[in-house]
Structure 1
Amino acid sequence: MQAGSRDLERAAEALASRLPEPLGVYARLAYNYRWAWDPDGPDVFRDLDPERWEKVAENPVKQLQEASTAGLSAAAQNPELLARVAAVEERVNADLNRPPHDGPASTERPIAYFSAEYGFHGSFPIYSGGLGALAGDILKEASDRAWPLVAVGLLYRHGYFRQRIDNRGWQHEYWVDTDPDRLPAALVTDDAGKPITICVHIGTEEVVAQIWRTNVGRVPLYLLDAERPENNESARWITSRLYIGDEDTRLAQYMLLGIGGVRALEAMAIEPSIVHLNEGHAAFASLELAKREYSGQGSLGPALDVARQRTVFTTHTPVPAGNDTYPAHQVESVLEHMAGTLGVNASEVIRLGRTNPEEEAEPFGVTQFALRTSRAANGVARRHGEVAREMWNAMWPDKAVDDVPITHVTNGVHIPTWLGRPMWALLNQHLGEDWLDRATDPATWAPVEDIPAQELWAVRTQQRAELIEYVRHRAVVDRLARDESRPYAEAAAAFDPDVLTVGFARRLATYKRLNLLLQDVERAIRVVGSDRPIQVLLAGKAHPRDDAGKSLVQGLFSMKHAPGFAGRVAYLDDYDLRMAAHLVRGCDVWINLPRPPLEASGTSGMKNVMNGGLQLSVLDGWWAEGYDGDNGWALPGDVDPDHGAQDARHAHELFRLLEEEVAPEFYTAGEDGIPKNWVTRIRRSLRTLGPEFGAGRMLEDYEKKVYGK
């Protein structure tokens, strides 16, 4: 897994040459994101120039490239800062130099993880939402566990869209160019210093891609990029935008990711033992694996069987729109050359992507193709596993639903990434500084019961106050940018660090049901403005082509001038990983309102849990297995075809819980000002959910239930 490592070293050396000599350590750290989850890593970069750090979206390379000469000179003469950054480098190097994990893979034959998006840091914009954040957390946890793992994706030159909400609540999208030379990445070159490239025939066109490498701790992430002089503009556009709307371009992305990804590993002399497909976007990887086994004669079946034994697949969504399908003729046109190299007609490959292979009118589905060409498959929560087995039962008509070969591995989150510094320090103090190495053991979390209520409440109060400081600034700026009146914009300054703060932030699909918050407007007004007030923070993006999702926000904005809303309810534009970190660390309660059973897992609530937040969610996804009656609150997870009636019931129960249970428990404090019952619930939440919903437990499950099969 050395391909590209020397290229990154050269990039770091070139950056260091522009800095005062004592600051060379910063250049070395900048080219490996391992600093990002060191306790002091983000702060040592921020403290070089806090204002610039914010402007460059916490991109360490850009920070160093744009820092003023005077600022760098001052930092080079700051012994306290130099000592801190040296300590960060020492910890990072010690972590990177540990021996590899002895498991189902080795450094000679690593696991290759394929994903269309990766959300490992806000400064590297190749993610859209939960799927990418999950992929990023897997890479970081794999690094922490010293797993031999490489990751493969695409380098999108325009990333995912940025969002601007107008004063009517309508979403507008725009894209920002990404310059990879200003990212912590390097072009992978050969011994002669030339970029390593691969070719993929997509239809009648031969598309050339180069490979960038970025390091996420011990894990190299290789990103294919079609911005090459050999390609015409249409071919270059393949790696332009994540989840691009044009179907032909998106299908070409999947070809490049799957087939091109396997070829890129081969070009870099990386031979994986396991190929893990994170969603169906990279499903065509199986064809390339089979091609390497195909003799050129006879049936493709035996070669696919060999490829299948190396491939595992994770499906993430029970929502039909999340399982891409394409008309057979469209797939046939892009697969024609690849099928020819395998000695078969494209129609034979297309059959593998149908639920019913003989039904020629049925479109090709990437999820079906991935299920048919993988030896193991899993959903991402216990209930999602059940839903997936029922959903895809027709692919195994001879099996009962319970026997469909799809298991589950419930998602988990990378705890150090999402943990607020005050909570991290508190848990270090009471669980032991090595507690993160033991986080999957329930015994590790037992001492939470002995954390003094005053200390736990102080940390929650501090993290809420930090969030409110962020919101007061961000909400005012967002409102002014929408051309709102100054009184309305400045009303955001009324957000109070001592008021119960509730968060709802996620992708804005209709099944997420943001509209439940406005089912009873009079009650909503009463809740936010009562003598036990609640302030609500909202954020999220709808897909550019999802007008129904966009209308959810527009409905919310129709009530923005309701009494009390201006200073108690805020919609924050352009939700991303950086904003998510503020929200999950500071919110007291995290709300999730999916229409059951359409939530595959959900991970934002897990991040909030690790920070002492409490959940008020529908019993779907991960919360269906996390809720125990005393560690949060729940809405029923029953399936009801009468959506209107179900929405009315759930909205009523949501407001009842907020008014009659959540707010009274938060505000009922003893003489010391501490709400004892609330703190008791936090303790139970941490103790029951902490060991179960971290990424460490998730990787242990993958090793036992999927990789080891």
Structure 2
Amino acid sequence: MDELNEFFKGKKIAYFSMEMGLQNEIPTYSGGLGILAGDVIRASADLGIPLVGVTLVSRKGHFAQHLDEKGRQSEDEQKWSPEDYIKLLPAEVTVRIQQRDVRVRAWLYEHKSLTEELIPVILLDTDVDGNSPEDRGITDYLYGGDSRYRLKQEIILGIGGAKMLDKLGLHMSKYHMNEGHSSLLTMELLRRNEMDPGRVKELCVFTTHTPVASGHDRFSYDLVRELIEGEQEIGALRKYGGEDELNMTVLALNLSDYINGVAKRHREISEKMFPGYKFRSITNGVHSYTWVCSHFRVLYDRHIPGWANEPELLVRVKNVPGDEIWDAHKNAKKELIDHVNMKKGIGMDHDTLTIGFARRMAEYKRPAFIFSDLKRLMKVNEAGKIQLIFAGKAHPADTRGKEIIEEIFGYIEDLKDTIKIAFLENYDMDLALKMVSGVDVWLNTPKRPFEASGTSGMKAAHNGVVNLSVPDGWWIEGCVAGVTGYSIGAGIDPDSSPEEIERIERDDLYNKLEYIIIPKYYDRRDEWIAIMRNSVEMIAYYFNCHRMMRRYVTEAYL
């Protein structure tokens, strides 16, 4: 334990997240929530925030995506060997599940920042000698299995995580729950504090990330009683987590003093979803150094020394010559297009306006929205050639998400003689960086108000890529129309019917592409580069994790 002492001294903030994107080769993340958590670790190290991450080891990952020629998705395990990347700690705790003791051990991941600050991340693991085969697999699959499997994981994460921090001799000033998956940690804190909710609330911070009802975990009390024993515990769960079913978000809401959404609009939506609770808002950000490609790193190093540790300095990009911005972008774009051509062999062009769409393939994100009217899309392409690059996984249980991927493959086939379109499989951190830096336009078309924040567009802006997005989540705050990018369907009457809203958005998308974006990209390059520069100057300087974490420190942690 001696090696832990230097950075385990003093009071710490525990940051709990079911998923955490620490690096590309460690598949303990599935999407935006996990990538944000990884960025929190990285920014906290840069800023010297005394934070400790807690997550699951997810030995078999989320899943590796395979797509056949029709776009039909199949899934494989993402097995990885923890010992290749992290250290096993000599600490073990037990957690009661289904009337038996489950042994939990911990692995240590150490993130060291450019400033030489160290942030530890504890990865919990039940693959321990002495556990039953069933219990050894609890921490295998990220978001795998049924409700029983999920609740077992959340018991390990929340209760097991709190116990492990105590076992390691850490003294916590706050417990920050990144979504409700870890909210059972409040039960452990209640036990330690004589079931006093006031004392527990003083310790807890809760961030919710989704305005989609299905994103909030709920469990029947029949299942809860099967897995969690003790009338006092069940009584507390009913009292704080819901009388009819255990709602993990409600449990966190009732036992946290500081509660926030991840964008200003998300705060408003959250208060409507959960009436009676007062939410704050801290708009998400991204870790600038991680999400700036090598070509722009060199550019920023040359003109804006110190930007990596102080991303607010990116406001000085106004002094960077436009031809150097364009050259950096061309190099990033070449890398992406060469990668696509190597993978797909479709002969994409380096000079054609390239539109990117990459995120989880879920129906509310409307990945195929740009194909809503193929005649209009063909007309757009006649105004100026376009090419499209897609990536993203559908959850194994999301039948509709899988169907959308197949539909996109159908459009690829239908349009192959006119518009070059690629769908890249197995979206991960490395591919994400290639895409957010290599496309010309970053497209986002969620059905509002279901985009809580979104961060991929922030990453694109860090690389001078122009956003074209529905005004939802962070983009409501980030878009200055025609200056930092473009909105799709801004100013729609919120009382309009869903069909009318979709019609207006569809028309606006095609009109923006045909009459504004294409002419500016091909014929008025100086104006296009000005928007690229504005994306960095007015978006990247603010929508970063350093700003976000400073606000968490001053508003939630202190």
Q: Normalising by the residue count of structure 1, what TM-score does the alignment of the two structures yield?
A: 0.75
Alpha-carbon distance in structure 1 between the residues aligned to 2:379 and 2:100: 61
C-alpha deviation, 1:4, in angstroms? 6.0
C-alpha deviation, 1:565, in angstroms? 5.6
Does residue 392 in structure 1 map to residue 274 in structure 2?
yes
Alignment partner of 2:516: what SS?
helix
Alpha-carbon distance in structure 1 between the residues aligned to 2:495 and 2:63: 34
Pick one of 232, 245, 253 that aligns with 1:363. 245
Match of 2:89 in 1: 188
Which amino acid letter does the alignment assign opposite residue 500 of structure 2?
A
Alpha-carbon distance in structure 2 between the residues aligned to 1:473 and 1:233: 42
Match of 2:385 in 1: 533
Pick one of 238, 246, 254 that aligns with 1:372. 254
Per-residue CA deviations over 1:345-389 (Å, capped at 9, x if unaligned) read: 5133223112xx4xxxx3211000011111111000111011111
Does residue 585 in structure 1 map to residue 437 in structure 2?
yes
Match of 2:115 in 1: none
Check the 8 A contact 1:587/1:613 in 2, yes or no. Answer: yes
Alpha-carbon distance in structure 2 between the residues aligned to 1:654 and 1:346: 51
Pick one of 81, 100, 111 that aligns with 1:205. 100
Match of 1:408 in 2: 281
Match of 1:704 in 2: 554
Does residue 504 in structure 1 map to residue 357 in structure 2?
yes
Which amino acid letter does the alignment assign opposite residue 212 of structure 2?
V
Check the 8 A contact 1:384/1:621 in 2, yes or no. Answer: yes
Alpha-carbon distance in structure 1 between the residues aligned to 2:496 and 2:234: 39
Match of 1:18 in 2: none
Does residue 472 in structure 1 map to residue 338 in structure 2?
no
Does residue 652 in structure 1 map to residue 507 in structure 2?
yes
Alpha-carbon distance in structure 2 between the residues aligned to 1:330 and 1:421: 49
Pick one of 666, 676, 699 that aligns with 2:521. 666
Query: Aligned runs of 1:159-558 on 2, under 5 Å?
Result: 159-182=61-84, 184-189=85-90, 196-217=91-112, 218-294=118-194, 300=195, 302=196, 304-336=197-229, 339-340=230-231, 344=232, 346-354=234-242, 357=243, 362-393=244-275, 396=276, 404-431=277-304, 433-440=305-312, 444-474=313-343, 476=344, 490=345, 492=346, 494-528=347-381, 530=382, 532-558=384-410
Per-residue CA deviations over 1:673-699 (Å, capped at 9, x if unaligned) read: xx1100111122211112210110101
Match of 1:132 in 2: 34
Pick one of 407, 421, 432 that aligns with 1:569. 421
Match of 2:469 in 1: 617
Per-residue CA deviations over 1:534-582 (Å, capped at 9, x if unaligned) read: 1111011111111111111111122222244686110011111111011
C-alpha deviation, 1:438, in angstroms? 3.0
Cα RMSD (Å): 1.8
Alignment partner of 2:412: what SS?
coil
Alignment partner of 2:109: what SS?
strand
Alpha-carbon distance in structure 2 between the residues aligned to 1:566 and 1:224: 50
C-alpha deviation, 1:230, in angstroms? 1.1
Query: Aligned runs of 1:29-44 on 2, under 5 Å?
Result: none
Check the 8 A contact 1:129/1:507 in 2, yes or no. Answer: yes
The structure with the larger Rg is: 1
Which amino acid letter does the alignment assign opposite residue 554 of structure 2?
K
**Which has more strand, going by share of residues?**
2
Alignment partner of 1:158: what SS?
coil
Match of 1:487 in 2: none
Does residue 142 in structure 1 map to residue 44 in structure 2?
yes
Query: Aligned runs of 1:633-648 on 2, under 5 Å?
Result: 633-636=486-489, 638=492, 639=494, 642-648=497-503
Check the 8 A contact 2:315/2:536 in 1, yes or no. Answer: no
Alignment partner of 1:214: what SS?
strand
Check the 8 A contact 2:386/2:419 in 1, yes or no. Answer: no
C-alpha deviation, 1:177, in angstroms? 2.1
Percentage identity across aligned positions? 34
C-alpha deviation, 1:704, in angstroms? 2.1
Q: 1:522 and 1:220, CA in 2 relative to 1: closer, same or farther beyond 3 A? A: same
Q: 1:173 and 1:446, CA in 2 relative to 1: closer, same or farther beyond 3 A? A: closer
Alpha-carbon distance in structure 1 between the residues aligned to 2:78 and 2:315: 47
Check the 8 A contact 2:295/2:328 in 1, yes or no. Answer: yes
Per-residue CA deviations over 1:644-701 (Å, capped at 9, x if unaligned) read: 33323212211111111111100014xxxxx110011112221111221011010111
Alpha-carbon distance in structure 2 between the residues aligned to 1:614 and 1:312: 34
Q: 1:122 and 1:648, CA in 2 relative to 1: closer, same or farther beyond 3 A? A: same
Which amino acid letter does the alignment assign opposite residue 428 of structure 2?
D
Alignment partner of 1:557: what SS?
helix
C-alpha deviation, 1:176, in angstroms? 2.9
Check the 8 A contact 2:66/2:74 in 1, yes or no. Answer: yes
Alignment partner of 1:198: what SS?
strand
Alignment partner of 2:205: what SS?
strand
Match of 1:677 in 2: 527
Which amino acid letter does the alignment assign opposite residue 650 of structure 1?
E
C-alpha deviation, 1:116, in angstroms? 0.4
Alpha-carbon distance in structure 2 between the residues aligned to 1:453 and 1:134: 31
C-alpha deviation, 1:237, in angstroms? 1.6
Alignment partner of 1:436: what SS?
coil
Check the 8 A contact 1:513/1:594 in 2, yes or no. Answer: yes
Check the 8 A contact 1:525/1:562 in 2, yes or no. Answer: no
Q: 1:554 and 1:439, CA in 2 relative to 1: closer, same or farther beyond 3 A? A: same
Alpha-carbon distance in structure 1 between the residues aligned to 2:228 and 2:175: 21
Alignment partner of 1:595: what SS?
coil
Check the 8 A contact 2:22/2:28 in 1, yes or no. Answer: no
Which amino acid letter does the alignment assign opposite residue 536 of structure 2?
L
Check the 8 A contact 2:179/2:209 in 1, yes or no. Answer: yes
Check the 8 A contact 2:287/2:545 in 1, yes or no. Answer: yes
Where in structure 1 are there 5+ consecutive unaligned residues? Answer: 7-96, 101-105, 190-195, 295-299, 397-403, 477-489, 670-674
Task: Kindly indicate whether structure 1 or structure 2 has the higher relative contact order, using CA contacts under 8 Å at least 6 residues apart.
Answer: 2
Q: 1:293 and 1:607, CA in 2 relative to 1: closer, same or farther beyond 3 A? A: same
C-alpha deviation, 1:446, in angstroms? 4.1
Check the 8 A contact 2:489/2:508 in 1, yes or no. Answer: no
Which amino acid letter does the alignment assign opposite residue 144 of structure 1?
D
Check the 8 A contact 1:379/1:409 in 2, yes or no. Answer: yes
Which amino acid letter does the alignment assign opposite residue 206 of structure 1?
D
Alpha-carbon distance in structure 2 between the residues aligned to 1:646 and 1:290: 47
Alpha-carbon distance in structure 2 between the residues aligned to 1:242 and 1:462: 35
Which amino acid letter does the alignment assign opposite residue 464 of structure 1?
K
